[in-house]
């Protein structure tokens, strides 16, 4: 009786948020189609809010204070004839210092978690915080990042947008009373949809939602809703700012004779990915250890980034406009008051790495995705110019090397080669270079090893605290099936007609059901795909199925599900009667309860 009362009480203690909570009870694809649309709307709106806030900050700091004009990307109204101009050039370090100071004051006063690059914080929330992101973080991240980047700090838009969308996705999950696993999914979907929107790269954004969480794995369960959310977010963002790819359109063709050169480029990009990661975290850790007030650290980082900007203004802000100028070889627009052109071009990848590391590693707020792409573009420009000099007939221009290098370097640094490859392709409006990209990014990924710009990533699902219940064998072996709540799904009987079975499956939205005889003994399983359009008795379509009994361990049940690629297994008594269905979700609930009783925590530290 007590167990029954506990189950009843657990059922009645769901969040009282009205009829909206019914979404959590819908079938998987319907539920996540609806939630995908909701998160997509949030992502698109978040991307727009951040985009225009950033433009405002750029106008205030670089425009009014410095009197500067920086190149814009072709997809945002830029041209190939405008370089960097500044009326009060010497105020660049003042601008970046002031931006760092204001950003630090805002972040460390109200939400210290918003410091640094937001994507990593969102990934950490997925793995270790059950998808929980404090409500105040999204608005703080928006304002602080806009100030950091708008004042000239070297950072990207993707981190703030990712954390903004992920944070609101987490809030939506709580509002609808969704369980922790759904809240985690909402966070991952928000990451991908936000980045896909701000970069106008919906396919890449959807793939990123699944890929960026791990170093060597993907979260397949978020792909479907991420596709929906990214499409919606992209449509909303593009409807306001336009659908032209950020870096315009690449109109060149693919030359297979250059594949060996792209392989060499992949090796170089892999090495630069390592340099980017190690430099960033060396400076990040140095600032963490520095015993001065946290409010001051971003200001010092901003000052150092601004001093680099005096030498090479190409590193200021997002640097998106310089990618187009590099792609189309508008070298006369690259400028430095100190360095000659050749020295400037060679130094740019290193200077962008340093400026980004100082701007964000010091505690400033911004993303590391876009700087990684820009660093790759500068590396590609240098390698392309060298190869053009050595092999002018084979390499008539640098554009393909700039594009391929963008995705190879950051695909390796982010451990998200597939997503980044498609994102850069979407950002340049051309699929012509996909074969080259596949070669370069694969090699760069291998060369970079375990170095990742996202420290919160884990190697695989098995290493994620979020999936501890699926892979912790010792605990699973200590739990019996009899301790789990069994589902009482409908069954089909051997003597039934096919049409009755079809109607039952369609009514309850099942693709398969267990089959029993007149004594309720399990005799097999019937799949909807096997009986659609058929006639006659159902017994002709029953297939054998493995099962467990109440004394079986959860490890045995999990092993059976994994081996056969299913997410439920029949449970039968010693005399063969069907007792119910054991699902993966039921196993997870009991596992989490057991772990907590042992004094552990599934959500990690």
pLDDT value, residue 405: 97
Q: How far apart are CA 504 and CA 491, in angstroms?
A: 9
Residue 64 per-residue DSSP state: I
Spatial CA neighbour of 400 closest among 257, 276, 273: 257
Q: Of 603 and 545, which is predicted with more confidence?
A: 545
- Confidence at residue 570, expressed as pLDDT on a 0 to 100 scale: 92
User: pLDDT at position 601, please?
Assistant: 43
What is the mean pLDDT of the segment spanning 210-232? Answer: 94
Whether the pLDDT of residue 470 is over 80: the answer is no
Question: Which residues does 562 contact at the CB level (< 8 Å), separation at least 6?
Answer: none
pLDDT, tens digit (0-9, with 9 covering 90-100), for 328-363: 999 999 999 999 999 999 999 999 999 999 999 999
Residue-wise pLDDT tens digits, 482-512: 999 888 878 888 888 888 888 888 887 777 8
pLDDT tens column, 401-451: 999 999 999 999 999 999 998 988 899 988 888 999 999 999 999 999 999
Q: Which is more confident, 226 or 544?
A: 226
472-597: CATH topology: CBS-domain (3.10.580)
Closest CA to 176 of 32, 40, 9, 29: 32
Q: In this structure, are residues 527 and 566 in contact, taking their beta carbons and an 8 Å threshold?
A: no
The percent of residues above 90 in pLDDT, for the chain, comes to 63
Angle between the 180-198 and 158-175 helix axes, to the nearest 10 degrees? 150
In the structure, how many helices (H) and strands (E) does the chain have? 23, 7
237, 268 contact by CB (below 8 A): no
Token output for 321: 């406009």
Confidence of residue 598 (pLDDT cuts 50, 70, 90): low
Q: Is residue 167 very low, low, confident or very high in pLDDT (cuts 50, 70, 90)? A: very high
Residue written as tokens 């003042």? 94
- pLDDT tens-place string over residues 23-65: 877 888 999 999 999 999 999 999 999 999 999 999 999 999 9
Element (H, E) at 514: strand 512-516
Q: Region 120-143: what's the mean pLDDT?
A: 90
Partners of 493 in beta bridges: 516
pLDDT at position 207, please? Answer: 96
Q: How far is CA 205 from CA 47, 162, 226, in A?
A: 13, 10, 8
What's the whole-number average pLDDT of the chain? 89
What pLDDT, on a 0 to 100 scale, did the predictor assign at position 600? 45
Residue 177: per-residue pLDDT: 85
Query: How many residues appear in the chain?
Result: 605
pLDDT band at 247 (very low <50, low <70, confident <90, very high): very high
Q: Is the pLDDT of residue 604 over 60?
A: no
Is the pLDDT confidence value at 471 over 70? Answer: no
What average pLDDT score do residues 280-296 get?
94
More confident residue, 77 or 495: 77
- Most distant CA pair in the chain: distance in Å? 90
Domain layout of the chain by residue ranges: 18-463, 472-597
Contact call for residues 467 and 221 (beta carbons, < 8 A): no
- φ and ψ of 177, to 5 deg: 70, 35
Q: Which residues are CB-contacts of 39 (< 8 A; sequence separation ≥ 6)?
A: 165, 169, 172, 186, 189, 190, 193, 225, 229, 233
* pLDDT confidence of residue 530: 85
Of the listed ranges 196-200, 345-349, 563-567, the one predicted with least confidence: 563-567
- The lowest-confidence range among 22-36, 68-82, 388-402 is 22-36
> Cα separation of 557 and 521, whole Å?
19
Q: Which two tokens mark 257?
A: 């004779």
pLDDT-above-70 percentage for the chain = 94
Q: Token pair 């009870």 is at which residue?
A: 25
HSE, side-chain direction, 13 A CA sphere, residue 592: 15
* Residue 144 or 510, more confident: 144
For 179-239, strand residue ranges (E) read none
pLDDT of residue 383: 98
CATH number for 18-463 (one of 1.10.3080.10, 3.40.50.300, 1.10.300.10, 1.10.3720.10): it is: 1.10.3080.10
pLDDT in tens, 174-190: 988 888 889 999 999 99
**C-alpha dist (Å) from residue 426 to 246, 247, 560:** 9, 9, 41
CA 28, 30, 33, 36: dihedral to nearest 10 degrees?
Answer: -60
Q: What's the pLDDT at 5? A: 38
DSSP 141-186: HHHHHHHHHHTT-S-BSHHHHHHHHHHHHHHHHHHTT--HHHHHHH
Indicate if the pLDDT at residue 10 is higher than 50. no
Average pLDDT score over residue span 299-308: 98
Please give the structure tokens belonging to residue 269: 């990009």
Round the CA-based radius of gyration of the chain to a whole number and report it: 27
Tell me the pLDDT band of 16, cut-offs 50, 70 and 90.
Answer: very low
The per-residue pLDDT for range 256-275, each reduced to its tens digit, is 999 999 999 999 999 999 99
For residues 370-391, give the mean pLDDT.
97
pTM to 2 decimals?
0.76
CA–CA separation, 461 and 547 (whole Å): 26
Task: Tell which residue, 453, 441, 487, 447, has the closest CA to residue 579.
Answer: 487
Within 10 angstroms of residue 282's Cβ, the number of other Cβ atoms is 11
Q: Above 60 in pLDDT, residue 6?
A: no
């Amino acid at each position: 009786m007590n167990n029954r009362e506990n189950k009843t009480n657990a059922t009645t203690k769901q969040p009282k948020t009205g009829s909206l909570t019914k979404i959590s009870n819908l079938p998987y694809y319907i539920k996540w189609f609806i939630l995908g649309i909701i998160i997509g709307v949030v992502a698109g709106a978040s991307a727009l809010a951040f985009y225009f806030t950033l433009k405002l900050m750029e106008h205030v700091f670089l425009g009014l204070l410095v009197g500067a004009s920086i190149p814009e990307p072709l997809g945002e109204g830029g041209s190939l004839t405008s370089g960097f101009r500044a009326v009060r050039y010497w105020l660049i370090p003042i601008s970046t210092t002031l931006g760092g100071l204001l950003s630090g004051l805002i972040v460390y006063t109200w939400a210290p978690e918003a410091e640094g690059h937001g994507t990593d914080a969102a990934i950490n929330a997925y793995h270790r915080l059950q998808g929980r992101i404090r409500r105040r973080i999204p608005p703080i991240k928006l304002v602080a990042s806009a100030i950091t980047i708008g004042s000239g700090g070297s950072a990207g838009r993707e981190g703030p947008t990712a954390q903004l969308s992920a944070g609101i996705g987490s809030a939506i999950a709580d509002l609808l009373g969704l369980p922790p696993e759904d809240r985690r999914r909402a966070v991952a979907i928000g990451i991908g949809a936000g980045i896909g929107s701000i970069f106008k790269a919906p396919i890449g954004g959807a793939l990123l939602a699944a890929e960026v969480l791990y170093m060597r794995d993907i979260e397949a369960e978020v792909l479907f809703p991420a596709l929906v959310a990214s499409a919606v977010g992209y449509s909303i963002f593009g409807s306001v700012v336009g659908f032209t790819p950020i870096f315009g359109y690449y109109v060149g063709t693919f030359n297979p004779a250059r594949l060996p050169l792209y392989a060499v480029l992949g090796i170089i990009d892999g090495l630069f990915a390592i340099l980017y990661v190690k430099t960033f975290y060396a400076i990040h850790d140095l600032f963490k250890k520095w015993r001065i007030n946290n409010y001051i650290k971003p200001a010092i980082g901003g000052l150092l980034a601004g001093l680099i900007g005096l030498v090479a203004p190409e590193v200021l802000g997002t640097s998106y406009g310089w990618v187009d100028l590099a792609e189309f070889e508008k070298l006369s627009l690259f400028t430095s008051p100190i360095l000659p052109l050749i020295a400037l071009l060679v130094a740019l990848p290193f200077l962008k790495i340093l400026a980004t590391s100082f701007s964000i590693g010091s505690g400033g707020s911004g993303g590391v995705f876009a700087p990684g792409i820009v660093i790759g573009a500068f590396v590609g420009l240098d390698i392309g110019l060298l190869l053009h000099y050595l092999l002018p007939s084979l390499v008539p221009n640098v554009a393909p090397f700039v594009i391929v290098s963008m995705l190879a370097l950051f695909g390796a640094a982010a451990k998200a080669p597939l997503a980044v490859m498609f994102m850069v392709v979407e950002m340049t409006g051309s699929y012509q270079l996909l074969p080259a990209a596949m070669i370069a990014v694969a090699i760069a990924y291998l060369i970079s090893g375990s170095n990742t710009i996202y420290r919160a990533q884990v190697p695989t699902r098995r290493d994620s605290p979020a999936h501890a219940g699926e892979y912790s064998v010792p605990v699973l072996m200590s739990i019996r099936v009899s301790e789990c709540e069994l589902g009482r799904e409908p069954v089909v009987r051997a003597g039934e007609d096919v049409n009755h079975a079809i109607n039952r499956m369609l009514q309850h939205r099942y693709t398969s059901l267990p089959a029993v005889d007149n004594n309720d003994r399990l005799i097999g399983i019937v799949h909807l795909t096997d009986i659609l359009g058929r006639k006659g008795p159902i017994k002709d379509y029953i297939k054998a199925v493995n099962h467990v009994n109440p004394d079986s361990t959860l490890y045995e049940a999990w092993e059976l599900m994994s081996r056969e690629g299913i997410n439920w297994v029949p449970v039968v008594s010693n005399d063969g009667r069907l007792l119910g269905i054991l699902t993966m979700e039921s196993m997870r609930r009991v596992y989490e309860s057991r772990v907590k009783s042992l004094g552990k925590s599934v959500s990690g530290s």
